[in-house]
Amino acid sequence: MRAEVAEMLETLRRGGVDDERVLDAMASVPRELFVSAEQRGDAYADRALAIACGQTISQPLMVAAVVQALQIRPGERVLDVGTGSGYQAAVLAACGATVFGVERIAELADAASRRLTAAGFAVDIRVGDGSRGLPDAAPFDAIAVAATAPWLPPALPRQLREGGRLVLPLHRRGDGMDELVRLRLVAGRWLTDSLGPCRFVPLIGDDAYAGEVRRPAP
Ligand code: SAH
């Protein structure tokens, strides 16, 4: 294994990622394919990097924490909202999931599709508003949202199966931070837990923020 990949895995373990299947998936996805040419040297650094259209590829620890919290089993159907570079979709696919992605910016969706195909991952990416989920591919076993929502878009939990998991960053009033929240549908009841503070770009859509940078003031 390359030294920079081994170092990234060490950072993930220190950050609380202990699911070996998630660590294997993180080790197997060539992150350098999902960042711009100028940033290749930083591909395995534990930070978010800028991608096209003013968006970001999330930091490896955040991706690993989200994927671990989703408890993906091979063969499950997973929706990746805010596909961006396609990196998280690739990690989900490397866990054995059948992955659907939805991305609002067509240019990013096209580039992600091309990259994922080149890297050997079959992910079905659609251009659209993920605050509405992806009704024609629902239900899902898990949904990952990579952009902060002002509230829980009701379409998302509706598109989960019994036993389903949903992880999304929600805007937290007061301190301007976002909070990573997990919902699980267990025996007909919703269980919610907090995975801690985080920071993501805004979810922009019909059931989310209205405009480019409009977010409520902290
Ligand atoms: N998971 C991505 C992170 C991308 S950043 C990665 O691994 O690279 C979040 C992405 O969410 C951005 O690309 C942004 O365009 C997208 N986004 C924001 N609002 C959205 C919406 N309503 N539906 C779909 N995508 C959205």
The string of pLDDT tens digits covering residues 143-156 is 999 999 999 999 99
Atom in ligand 1 nearest the alpha carbon of residue 130: 23
The string of pLDDT tens digits covering residues 22-50 is 999 999 999 999 999 999 999 999 999 99
- 165 Ramachandran zone, left/alpha/beta (phi>0; psi -120 to 50): beta
The string of pLDDT tens digits covering residues 161-212 is 999 999 999 998 888 899 999 999 999 999 999 999 999 999 999 999 997 6
Alpha helix (H) residue ranges in the chain: 3-14, 20-28, 60-70, 87-94, 106-118, 155-158
Sorted by sequence, the CB contacts under 8 Å of residue 46 that are 6+ apart come out as: 8, 11, 15, 59, 60, 61
Beta carbon of 129 within 6 Å of any ligand 1 atom: yes
The string of pLDDT tens digits covering residues 107-154 is 999 999 999 999 999 999 999 999 999 999 999 999 999 999 999 999
Active-site residue numbers? 58
All domains of the chain in start order, with CATH: 61-198 (3.40.50.150)
Atom in ligand 1 nearest the alpha carbon of residue 56: 5
- Output the six-digit token pair for 138: 């629902």
pTM attached to this predicted model: 0.96
Quick one: pLDDT at residue 214? 46
Atom in ligand 1 nearest the alpha carbon of residue 85: 8
Question: 5 C-alpha vs ligand 1 centroid, how far in Å?
Answer: 25
Distance from chain centroid for Cα 56? 11
Question: 187 C-alpha vs ligand 1 centroid, how far in Å?
Answer: 31
Question: 1 C-alpha vs ligand 1 centroid, how far in Å?
Answer: 30
Beta carbon of 108 within 6 Å of any ligand 1 atom: yes
